[in-house]
Structure formats: C-alpha cells, structure tokens
Chains A and B, each alone.
Chain A
Amino acid sequence: MNRRAFLKTAGAVAALGALPSIGRAQAKEVKLGYILPVTGPLAFEAQLSLNGLQLAVDEINDAGGIKALGAAKLTLLPGDSQNKVELGNSEAARLIDQGISALIGPFSSLVAYSVRQVTEKNKTPFVLLAAVADNLTEGGLRYVFRVQPNGKAMSTLTMNNMFAMAKAANTPIKRVAMMHEDGNFGTTMGNHVEAFAGKLGYSFVQRIPYSLKSPDFTAELSKVKASKPDLLVISGYYGDSKIIAETAAKLRIGVHALVGLANAAYSNPKFIADNRELTDQLFDGNYWHNPQSPRAKAVFAAYEKRFNSTLTSHGVQAYTVIGVLKDALERAGSADRDKLRDALSKTNLADHILPQDAIKFDDIGENVNASPALLQVQNGKPLVVGPARFAEAKPVFPVPRWHG
C-alpha cells in the first residue's frame, strides 16, 4: 500500500471521529495496549507476561522496528485490570482512546469475556493472553485472536500426546481418572477430558472435583484408587497439586503415570525445586516453548540476562503474541486497526518458538495449530517429551513408582 492510500485511510478514520493519534503513529510508533492484572492476586504472573512483552518489543525495536511502516517503533501502553471486569473494560476503553492498534491481554477469562465486547465495538484487534475459556472466540466476533491453545485444545491434545506415548511404550491406557479443582479452570478441563473419552477410546472411570482449600485429599484419592485407573489427570493449582501428588505417591494408586493438565505446579520450576523428590517423573501437559528451536534458546538467554530469572511459559506466550503482531503489521503495512485485523486473520507464521507448526488462525480467531507440550520432570528439570518432533528427552512411561 502506498503512502497516499494510507494517508487517505488515516484521514477517513480520523474523520469518523476516531483516533487522531493514528495519524501521528504512522510515522513514529505503533501503539500496542496491554491489560494485565498488574496489581492484585495475579500480579506475579502478570509481571512474567509483561517481561515477555517487553523483551519482544525491545528486540524488535532494536532491530529497526516495523520496516513496512518506515521503521516505526512499537510502544507498549499499560493497562491494569486488577483482575476486575469493570476495570478491564475501562482500561480497554481508555487505551483505545489513546490510539492503540491492538490490545493484548487480559489474563483472566472472565475479564476477557467482557473486554472483547469493548474491542469488538471499537473494531480493535484483541489478542488474548493466557485467557483459556473456550467461549471467548465464540459469538461471531471478528477481532478476537488467540495464539495459545484454548481449553479444548489443551485437554484433547494432551490426552493425544499421552496416548501416543503409551502406544509407543506398548502400555495402553484404558481407564482414566481425573481430579480437578472445582472452580472454572478445573471444571472446564474436566468437561473436556470427559467428553473426549469416546473419541480416544478410554473409560472415564472417576471424576472428582475438589475444593482448593482442603488440607487433605486422602479420601478422594482412595476413591480414585478404588476405580483402578491407568492414568490420573490433575488440573489444579500449586498447593492442592502438591498435596495430591504427595498423598497419591504414598497411596500407590497403581496408575502408569500422573499427568497434570495445565497444572500450575507440575512443570513449574519453583515447585520442582521446592519439592524435588516428589516431582520426579510427573507429567504435565502445558504451555511451553519449543526446546529444539535455536531461536528459543536465544530468547531464553536474553531473558535470563535481562531479568535474572528463567523465562516461564507466561513470558513465552507474551513474547509470541508480540511476534504475531509484528508479523501482521509488516504484512498490513499499516497500523490501522481494520487492516491489522485482516492481516492477522491471514497469519501464517513459522518463525516462532512454540512447539507447533505455523501459527494460523481459523475463522473464529483460534490458532489452528496451537499445541501444548507434554512435559516430564526428569532429574529436577521439566523436559519436553512430546509431541515427538519437539521432544528433548525420552519419556519414562510407565512410571515405576506410581505402580501399585
């Protein structure tokens, strides 16, 4: 697109009473807004995401910015949702007023559900970060995009990965049990694993939602043991997952393996470091990077150098989202929201650090190739053991210590 056409578009947009600042943005910068729960109970995770965003933006700017826009630099405009819906909405409105080309965030599915209506109304591309609820892309919205696997993809692909691994080890999985926290996250995962039973041919023999705050899961795990499962899937948070793994180990429930599903603990380096022997050979299907990718290694090194800590999957997702936006901006040759949106929908990006093929969006904005990694903790490190082509280690399956 030539400069004249671009100016005409910008002029038309401005004339609609929209963001005059886009005219300014065209020469110098492209504004990307983010909404994260910067203050509030999720502040820690939000910071990890923010680090990833910052790393990616600085990397791109240092390399010359968006070439198709005359070396325009990316600018991140901050928004704090405090994990609250009303604030998410007002922050979105404010950022849109300030002329962002796209919105990133907001972490919580609940906030996302509301914010996406604001972005849709204002025709602003909204690239989800961390929000996992499946219904976020439903409803015929054109401006919502999601790079990471949604709940359904997370569950079904993890089960696929486990089954592929079981098949390779000649140890079939016939009976699956699941424990999940009884909130939104766990219940969503539980529903998917239950629904997938027919497709993959397993019996879903026991499903136990549990209360997060409970100090004891022995009774629940006894019920699991009594249902004689081959596999126990656990969708939970840090503390409860710890107690469950602890008790399950002692109860000798007789499964081939214990696998977390988007579990907050089992592939979490801090959890592993704190509970070394407990975590040995635990599986987890979770967001991750591609360990085979040289670029990923470079990104990890850069992150470590800058933030003095290890890049987590929160940061990986954030880093990737910026990469997707950059690619779309280059192809759109414009910071205009509608053009950006169209460019996003045509994304076919292979240069990324995720454990999947090229990033492509379907017509509701989901990343068709989104794929969780299957990880196993080996010698105190969470290693990718599946899908096979991304694996950095061979899985240990079945896991001897879980056997009865």
Chain B
Amino acid sequence: MTADLLLQAVVSGLLLGGVYGLVASGLSLIFGVLRIINFAHGAVMMLAMYTTYWLFTLRGIDPYLSIVVTGPLFFFIGMVIQRVVIEPNRFAAEHNQLLLTLGLALFLENLALVLWQGDFRTVRPSYASASFVVGEALVEVPRLVACGGAIVMALALFAFLRLTDVGKAIRALSEESEGAMLMGIDVGRIRAVAFGIGSGCVAVAGALVTPFFYVAPDVGESFNIMAFVVVVLGGMGNFVGALLGGFIVGLAESLGATLLPGSLKQLVVFALFVLVLLFRPAGLFGGGRGR
C-alpha cells in the first residue's frame, strides 16, 4: 500500500465528497424544516441532469452556465412538489411521509424511463478531458469544478440562512418549530421554500456532476443513498455538518476502494452509516436532531 495510492484516494475522495456534501446539504435542509427524509432527492437530481443534457444538446449551453437556469427552475419545481404532494400530508405519521417520498421517487424515476428510455446520454464539453497532477495524484478538472462549485453553493446557502430574513425563518423553524410559529412566521410558505431550496441545491449538484458522469433514469440512486449517509453523519438539520460529512464519506468510500478487494467499498460506507446511526445518531458533530 503505497503513499501514492493513499494520496490519490484522499484527493479523489475529497473531490467527490464535496459533491456529496452539496447533495446532502439540500437533504439536511429539507429534513431540518419538514422533518421528512426525502427519498425523492436523487430523482430530482436526475431530472436536473436531464435538463442539463437537453440544454447542452439542443441549445449548446455549457453545463456550468446552465446552472443559472436549472437552479431556479428546480427551486420552483421543488416548491410545487412540496405544496402538492407533501404539504397536504404534513400531519401524517412519520413513516407514512417517508413512504410518500418513496412513492414520489419511484414515480419520477420511472417517468423519466418512460419519457426518455433507458439509454445513457453523455454531456462532454470541451474541457472534459482536462486534468493535472498534484504530486502523484490525478485531479480531473470537471471533478474539481464540481467540488468547488459545491463548496461555493454550500457557502452561499449558509450565508443565505444566516443573513436573510427567509433564511433566519428557516433556521428558526428548523430549530424550534413551535416557537417559530408563535413568532408569526408563515410556516407553510417557509416549508415550501425550504423544500425548494433543497431541491435547487441538489439540482445544482446534478448540473455540476453531468460533465464527468452520464445521464440515465437511475442516475440519482448513486447519490441518493450517499446523501442519507452523509446527512446522518453530519447530523440531520446540521448544514455545515452535511458538507463536512460529505468529505468524510467521500474519503471513506475512496479509501475503502483502495484498501479493500472487490466492490466492498460500499460496505465501508454502510458500516459507517450503521455505526453512526447506532452510536451517534445526532451526527459526528452533534447539533443534529437526534433520534
């Protein structure tokens, strides 16, 4: 086991982890405010990736630039989904709300399959083959941009939550829902906005990922399950924790791939998941909602 391999594992793990972190931040936000685990998160990411693909293929719009379209579009779509599907059931039992998002996920993924078939599509802009080396470790430019973009987006989210009125209302609702309601916050609207922002985040993540990944109806699944792990690790509702958790999970996966035979790297991630769920369900950094 050479230092080179480990360095590479660390580098690629961190790069991917940034994206995991962004996906998870959106999920964490949704959980923090609405108290639901959104199984359909990955499906929204997938739809955003298809959108990125169409914008690139039909209009020649660069995937990174198309974020200005995709982000707001899926913010809006997220709000609609929340209003139509989730809000009417906000008093249903927790596990039922989970099933609701599961149903939504099944519906959206297969809607994509029905509409666009299962064949893979790729978006390959001119800079897709760009890369450089850090020491002996490869850094692929599209992945670096995705990671950087994810961090920027996450920081923007934090700034929004800290500095704007809406952001403060979201945080209030997330930390102390009854108190927030008593303070006159329009709970319904904030809930929709939170879901919208969460969806917007995962849509941005999708656009960032498209240049080095591929587009297919089940593409969100890879990130969905990782997002759950990251959110639990970072603490449900702890947004900074989600970003940090993303890096940790990315690293764990990458190191697992390097050190373990076969395709056992997934085991590392799940084992980490189970351990955190059992022994530190509030997340590694605390501040999460706990059991």
Contacts and interface: CB of A to CB of B under 8 A. Distances in A.
A219 B8 contact: yes
| Range for the number of chain A residues in contact with chain B | 35 or more
B59 to A, nearest CB: 17
Contacts of A217: 257
Contacts of B121: 274
Given A226-B2, A250-B140, A239 B120 contact: yes
Interface stretch (A49-57, A112-120, A204-212): A204-212
A222 B9 CA distance: 8
Given A215-B222, A222-B4, A247-B138, 15 more contacts: A41-B113, A42-B118, A208-B262, A215-B209, A216-B254, A218-B9, A219-B258, A222-B5, A222-B258, A239-B214, A242-B214, A243-B213, A246-B140, A270-B119, A271-B120
B250 to A, nearest CB: 8
B117 A44 contact: yes
Contacts of B266: 211
Interface string A178-210: 000010000000000000000000000000111
A242 B8 contact: no
Nearest to B259: A219
B269 to A, nearest CB: 11
Nearest to A237: B120
A249 interface: yes
A243 B4 contact: no
A238 interface: yes
Contacts of B262: 182, 208-209
8 contacts: A182-B262, A213-B218, A215-B19, A215-B209, A219-B254, A222-B9, A226-B5, A239-B216
B122 A213 contact: no
A43 interface: yes
A271 B257 CA distance: 27
B32 to A, nearest CB: 26
A247 B129 CA distance: 9
Contacts of A251: 138
Given A242-B214, A274-B121, A218 B12 contact: yes
Given A41-B113, A182-B263, A223-B258, A215 B8 contact: no
Nearest to A213: B222
Interface in A35-49: 41-44
A250 B138 contact: yes
Interface string B188-215: 0000000000000000000001001110
A310 interface: no
A20 to B, nearest CB: 41
Taking chain A's interface residues, is the majority helix, strand, or loop, or is none over half, making it mixed? helix
B16 interface: yes
A275 interface: yes
Contact of A219 (B118, B120, B122, B257): B257
A358 B173 CA distance: 75
Given A214-B222, A250-B129, A274-B121, A222 B263 contact: no
Interface string A250-266: 11000000000000000
Nearest to B1: A226
B122 A215 contact: no
B239 interface: no
Interface of A: 41-44, 182, 208-211, 213-220, 222-223, 226, 238-239, 242-243, 246-247, 249-251, 270-271, 274-275, 277-278
Given A41-B118, A182-B263, A219-B9, A246 B113 contact: no
The 4 closest A-B pairs by CB, nearest first: A219-B257, A218-B12, A239-B214, A238-B120
B26 to A, nearest CB: 17
Contacts of A239: 120, 213-214, 216, 219
A243 B212 contact: yes
A210 B128 CA distance: 23
A238 B16 CA distance: 21
Contacts of B140: 218, 246-247, 250
Contacts of B129: 246, 249-250, 277-278
A326 B16 CA distance: 54
Contact of A43 (B117, B209, B214, B253): B117
A279 to B, nearest CB: 11
B57 to A, nearest CB: 10
B83 interface: no
Contacts of A42: 118
Contacts of B214: 238-239, 242-243
Contact of A242 (B122, B131, B209, B254): B122
Contacts of A210: 263
Contacts of A243: 212-214
